[in-house]
Amino acid sequence: MIKYAIIPLGGLGTRLYPLTVETSKAMIRFLNRPLIEFIIYRLASQGVREIYLGVSGYVNYRNVYDYLGEGYRLSSKYNLPNSFRVRYQPLEDSVGNADSVRIIMEYYDITDPVIVVQADTVFDMNIYDLWSFHIKNNAFMTIVLKSIDDPEELKDFGVALIDPDMRIRGFVEKPRNIEEVGSRLVNTGIYLLSEEFRSFITSSEVLEMRKKGLMDFGRDIIPKLIREGRRVYGYDKIDYWFDVGTPKRYLEAVMYLLRKLSPEELDVSEYWNNIKFQGRSSRSKALHKEIISKASQKKIILEGDVLIGRHVSIGDWVRIRDAVIDNYTIVEDGAVIEGSVVMDRSFVGKGSTIINSIIGRHVKIGRNVFIEGSIIGDDCIIGDNTKIMKSKIWPHKNIDPMVSMENMSIR
């Protein structure tokens, strides 16, 4: 079985700006928990006992280490064995996700099979079945593939060219003409590496590639393996997978998993219709009871799938549909929140509307504000009677009252 996992955390997460301006993408709030926690839980619940984080840069390291530490808190939370550990890449600069894997393998002397998972993905699959497939095919590397139906989405990924036995003979990166590719299987960035991979990644030839900055799995390492005739296979039995590296895909993943995951996986303490509540303290439970009472009396409307975090306060005549409201958030009377995520310790003023948007942490939204298709960074203040459409606002910005903006980035 697979004991080791490496999660590269390099890069600035620019596709998720402004949410990742000051926060590691691994620590973005996702269903009211850090994203990395979902990844680790998926791995640890299927037997992975040592998680190695390929941290690069101060922000990535600080955010992740301060939350995860050595893994003891997660071990206690999820009832994992005492042997479970979280470890970190030493202070050595990496020049790509494959280089991060090389550094960790050498430093911790890992010679066993390793599963590699990117830090901006959420997924579910049977890791034992993946391992069995890998062994059956005597694979040097097995790449988890996902079938994507939308032709426009396919253009954002590497599309695998496969033989009938699932051996990969190449990738077409971000193809323009999907019909000519003849495949809808994309590279998920989840890799199972054989024991021999360490010798390959530390070879003199690969180290020469490193000097040229050619250490990206998709762009450099996998094409080299295929050219050399190594046994690279594709595995496509994955229940779900989302690349949450953009705001659009982040929201899509949130809404899908809000419907898909069990109450236990969402850490839900109470369930009313499709409304899920988190929090077990007496104060949280009292707030749950108050919200349910208001909904029963039609004083507020809760529709679709809604996740409400700990210590959330909701006023009268509020309407919430298909949304996530994070911990310690206050929603005042008459507000509307639809298809959106409001992160923790935020404030939504009276009569304000939020549609298909992501509101960062500790954001104060004034009265009668209208926000649609926008991303608001952490610790912003949005003045009364403001209208924000298809815009991005960087952290710590104050937007004056009565402002109207569309298709803007405020930095």
- Does CATH number 2.60.40.10 belong to domain 270-410? no
- Summarize pLDDT for 226-276 with one digit per residue, the tens: 999 999 999 999 999 999 988 999 999 999 999 999 998 999 999 898 899
- Which pair of tokens denotes residue 180? 């000519």
Q: What is the pLDDT of residue 176?
A: 74
Q: pLDDT at position 313, please?
A: 95
What b/e string do you get for 315-333 counting C-beta neighbours within 10 Å, with b at 16 or more? bebbebbbbbbbbbbbbbe
Report the pLDDT value the prediction gives residue 222, as an integer from 0 to 100. Answer: 94
What predicted TM-score, i.e. pTM, was given to this entire model?
Answer: 0.92
pLDDT of residue 93: 84
Q: What is the pLDDT of residue 14?
A: 83
Domain boundaries, given as residue ranges, for the chain:
4-260, 270-410
Contact assessment for residue 199 and residue 188, using Cβ atoms and an 8 Å cutoff: no
SS3 string of the chain? Answer: CCCEEEEEECCCCHHHCCCCCCCCHHHCEECCEEHHHHHHHHHHCCCCCEEEEEECCHHHHHHHHHHHCCCHHHHHHCCCCCCCEEEECCCCCCCCHHHHHHHHHHHCCCCCCEEECCCCEEEEECHHHHHHHHHHCCCCEEEEEEECCCHHHHCCCEEEEECCCCEEEEEEECCCCHHHHCCCEEEEEEEEECCCHHHHHCCHHHHHHHHCCCCCHHHHHHHHHHHCCCCEEEECCEEEEEECCCHHHHHHHHHHHHHHCCCCCCCCCEEECCEEECCCCHHHHHHHHHHHHHHHCCCCEEEEEEEECCCCEECCCCEEEEEEECCCCEECCCCEEECCEECCCCEECCCCEEECCEECCCCEECCCCEEECCEECCCCEECCCCEEECCEECCCCEECCCCEEECCEEC
Question: Which phi and psi angles does 361 have, rounded to 5°?
Answer: -85, 140
Tell me what pLDDT residue 137 has. 96
| pLDDT tens column, 191-201 | 999 999 999 99
Q: Which of 11, 14, 31, 19 is nearest to 392 (CA)?
A: 19
**CATH 3.90.550.10, domain 4-260, yes or no:** yes
**Cα distance between residue 266 and residue 10, in whole Å:** 27
Kindly give the parts of the chain with pLDDT less than 50. Answer: none
